[in-house]
Amino acid sequence: MQILTVTLNPALDLATATASVQPNKKLRCAPESAEAGGGGVNVARAITQLGGRAQAWVSLGGANGDWLGEILDTLELDWASLPSPGPTRHSFSVTDETTAEQYRFVLTGPEWSAKQLAEVLDLIVDASPPDAMVVFSGSMPPGAAPGFLPLACARLAPRKVVIDTSGPHLEHQASGPAPAPFVLRMDSHEAMALSGQPLTTRADSAAYAEVLRTRGAGEIVIIARGKDGSVMATPEGLWHTSAENDVVVSAIGAGDSFVGGFCMSIAEGLPPEEALRRGAAAAAAAVMSPGTQLCRPDDYAEMLARTELIQL
């Protein structure tokens, strides 16, 4: 099964450091580093690093888009450029070397029209076989109304659509608009906000995932519980998996690595519960690597051997 990831609002992520962050002063900074930002990009990277195959479709525009494309080339990633209604945004973070605190500034990106979004969906339909899996991961772009993802599910059918987003788009999807995506994933903080409940136990989270599934938010609903692993609601039952890991170097990209491991497993023909286990192992591996290195194969193999899958 072909896997395509879609990143409509990528960012050229710049990072630097300064001795101390203070107002009303010129802050002399260290040389900046530049990386490709975007959930879909990270999902495709995770799949590629684990030995799978995925193609990242990334909307690029202007000088920032050219720079981001050069970075994607260095990652040895199979990627394709989508049109953009304006210059690719950039975001930047500044680390205060005195306090070790990081200040992150995330810009909005260009605004899309309904016509431009529809044209992008047409491009994806033309470029992907009907049995492909299409992953929407990360924030949706300005101009995309909360109903955009259900529209994408309808336009891309019968392709399997996987959604891992946040904010108003997640809230809308949780209401159960038809047609349902193949998978809807969220973290525990998002699930607690949507449910209005503390979701203290894994049973609580699994029960809410089942509420969302029966409502039509997704054919499969997954809720990540941080160190306690993830729960999943499917038509066949409720599941929990965990991959114990005492080594946490950086949590960056853990969620994207989970989605990558899960989607790669489904594409290989494995059942959803086994895909859940492998996604959890990929997420646990990601936190063992520094910065944005995501899930390294050796770490993944180690964590996969330590995962446990339980039917609730």
Cis bond before residue 179 (omega within 30° of 0)? yes
Q: What is the pLDDT confidence band of residue 291, given thresholds at 50, 70 and 90?
A: low
- Tell me how far apart the alpha carbons of residues 159 and 134 are, in angstroms, rounded to a whole number: 7
- Tell me how far apart the alpha carbons of residues 262 and 258 are, in angstroms, rounded to a whole number: 6
Residue 165 pLDDT greater than 90, yes or no: yes
Q: What is the pLDDT confidence band of residue 154, given thresholds at 50, 70 and 90?
A: very high
Residue 290 pLDDT greater than 70, yes or no: no
Residue 85: what pLDDT?
Answer: 96
180-215 pLDDT, tens digit per residue, is 999 999 999 999 999 999 999 999 999 999 999 999
54-99 pLDDT, tens digit per residue, is 999 999 999 999 999 999 999 889 999 999 999 999 888 898 999 9
* % of the chain with per-residue pLDDT over 90: 77
Residues belonging to the active site: 256
212-233 pLDDT, tens digit per residue, is 999 999 999 999 998 899 999 9
Residue 292 pLDDT greater than 90, yes or no: no
In degrees rounded to 5, what are phi and psi of residue 37? Answer: -110, 145
88-138 pLDDT, tens digit per residue, is 998 888 989 999 888 889 899 999 999 999 999 999 999 999 999 999 998
| Domain-wise residue ranges, the chain | 3-311
User: Helices (DSSP H) in the chain: which residue ranges?
Assistant: 39-49, 62-74, 114-127, 148-156, 167-174, 188-195, 202-215, 254-267, 272-286, 297-304
How close are the terminal C-alpha atoms of the chain, in Å? 29
Among 291, 140, 163, 169, which residue's Cα sits nearest to residue 221?
Answer: 163
Task: Return mean pLDDT, the chain.
Answer: 93
Q: CATH for 3-311?
A: 3.40.1190.20
Bridge partners, 162 (sequence order): 135, 183
Using CA atoms, how far residue 207 sits from 43, 94, 240, in Å, is 27, 40, 11
